[in-house]
């Protein structure tokens, strides 16, 4: 007896593969950020200059990372969902 592979089965496999790839990309960049390294999979990167230092930002696929090198901000690295905002104080 032959089993038929339907279009729905192919779409499910493709979606599952994309989700797994996204999870791998997310965790690679997350663990790099925890080690104070720059992420690999940035869609856009920006460095802002302030009077008391700089802020490096990286926007990835569904997440953002901020690396603070400012004397007025205690945090050094912030990693979270795409809607987090840069700290100003």
**Residue 72 DSSP one-character state:** T
Phi, psi of 5 (to 5 degrees): -95, 120
Segments making up each domain of the chain, as ranges:
7-81
pLDDT tens sequence across 42-85? 999 999 998 888 999 999 988 999 998 888 887 788 898 989 88
User: What predicted TM-score, i.e. pTM, was given to this entire model?
Assistant: 0.76
């Amino acid at each position: 007896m032959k089993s038929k592979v339907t279009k729905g089965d192919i779409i499910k496999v493709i979606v599952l593969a994309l989700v797994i790839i996204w999870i791998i990309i997310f965790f690679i960049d997350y663990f790099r950020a925890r080690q104070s390294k720059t992420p690999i999979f940035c869609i856009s990167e920006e460095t802002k200059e302030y009077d008391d230092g700089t802020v490096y930002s990286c926007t990835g696929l569904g997440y953002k990372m901020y690396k603070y090198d400012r004397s007025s901000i205690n945090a050094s690295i912030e990693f979270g969902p795409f809607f987090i905002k840069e700290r100003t104080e």
